Structure 1
Amino acid sequence: MIFTINGQIVFDSDTGMLGLIDSLDERVQISNPTKRLLLLLIQHQGEAVKRDIIFKKVWDDFGMISSNNNLNQCVSKLRRLIKNFGLDDETIVTIPKIGFMLHPQIEIERGADITLMPHEGDISVESDFEHSPEHVPAEHTLKERTAGLLIRSNISLLILLIAIIALGAAVGIWFATKPLERREVFVGQAGTCKILMSETLLQDDNSTTLKSGVLSYAQRLKPQCTSDEYVLVIKSRTLRTWSRDLSRLYFMRCGTLRDSKSEVCWSITEPAASAG
């Protein structure tokens, strides 16, 4: 439909052409959002058109992204064009906190017998504006947002997996390096000493034979202990024997330090009679 604005500007709502009635060579082609905005204001001349209505009728219904920034740019461009064509830039009135209105004193004539056909010389003043990133179709924007969310989700999962692996490795290292709790069991009496053995030595099937052999050897040593001392038998974990089937045991006399929770151990020398 063709509209004349104040008897001097002609607007074709179908093609988006805007120009002067007496000089049709001076015309421009406005973008689709700007065309729909101008048509909406003309249809509701003298009424304050709410921003939400403008968003829906100009952008949302056509699968485009609406925003205050887009609307303000459209209004600014329309005002500049109208002013260039000789009308007051206040033809489009801002209604604070509500929206915009086409001034009621502007004369609008519908269905004027004028044809505005676009040709190669027409100037498109808003081609870049219409194809700006803020006007990408909603479906395309949704795909980009979905892809972005998927990438962020995958990164979060990767970070979580790395954290779990690191935690598992730390726990494994802690258990591997944690000192074993040493428990001693009473084996018997030798000399004036109690003979104690590490509990780990008695976990094998031949523990009875081992206890008997250790006690027999300790009794040959005839160790002498005070009331707070004892003989401890432990297995070497650092020195290897010449045969894998053999274990190296150590006999040590241990005692508690006075005024301390610490113990001190020292070796027991075999009696001279058993050395030969």
Structure 2
Amino acid sequence: MRYTINARLIYDATDGTLTLANSDAPGSQLSITASALLCFFLHNTSIVSRDEVLQKVWDDNGLTSSNSNLNQYLSMLRKTFRHYGIDNIIISVSRGHLQLNPDVHIQMPAPAPAPALEIPPQPTPAPEHAITEAIDTPQTHGLCWYLAGTGMLIIALLLVLLSMVSGSTLLPVALTPIHHSQCELLASDVMLHSVSETTYVKNFDAVLQRLNLKCKPGERFIFDYLDRLETNGLGRVFMAHCAMNENNPFSYCNNYFYYSWKP
């Protein structure tokens, strides 16, 4: 999801990059926590308390919150945006409250239009006396059951034919080796189409440090952003830490999800 700030700076919430509107390459990239903090204020433009910010950005995502951490990342955001000519992207309000600077113009992404609903034409109701006759006539009962059974049989046959025609073979996920100085690292081709390899390795190193994991011979990692939901700006991630042997390259794996970091 992209936000246009002051009509000249584009912030991409999926990878935390900041790009000038007239440039093709990002000028800088926010850390995961700094990006989460900025996203919180983009979605909460009114005055908020510091406790609410700490709860939503840190505590709710399993991170250790403190006023010193908040001050550090506020300073980081202000310094980064000052580089682009935007002073005090987040301002301090009296009594320990904060707010996205009201003088900063944020253009939110346009929501996708909802599909139009097609209302089928309503059939003209039959005269009341005709309905009464159909219900009261035994021959009509038999004809109705015959037509209903025939219709169900035709529908079942169509469903079988449709499943045979449209059935497709499930394909395995394609994994590509990524150059890393210490780890054997694999990424899905879908992942590499949505993010640069440099950003991918940088985020992998951050997660590896967060989990306090080390690279060892005979082990490999699979790292993926998956759907990258933007709750508080923190994307949902997946990492598998796998042992290898000659018969199975993924014989045993510890899997880590989101920010709970529990295998």
Task: Normalising by structure 2, report the TM-score.
Answer: 0.43
State which structure, 1 or 2, has the greater radius of gyration over its C-alpha atoms.
Answer: 1
- Which structure carries more relative contact order (alpha carbon 8 Å, separation 6+)? 2
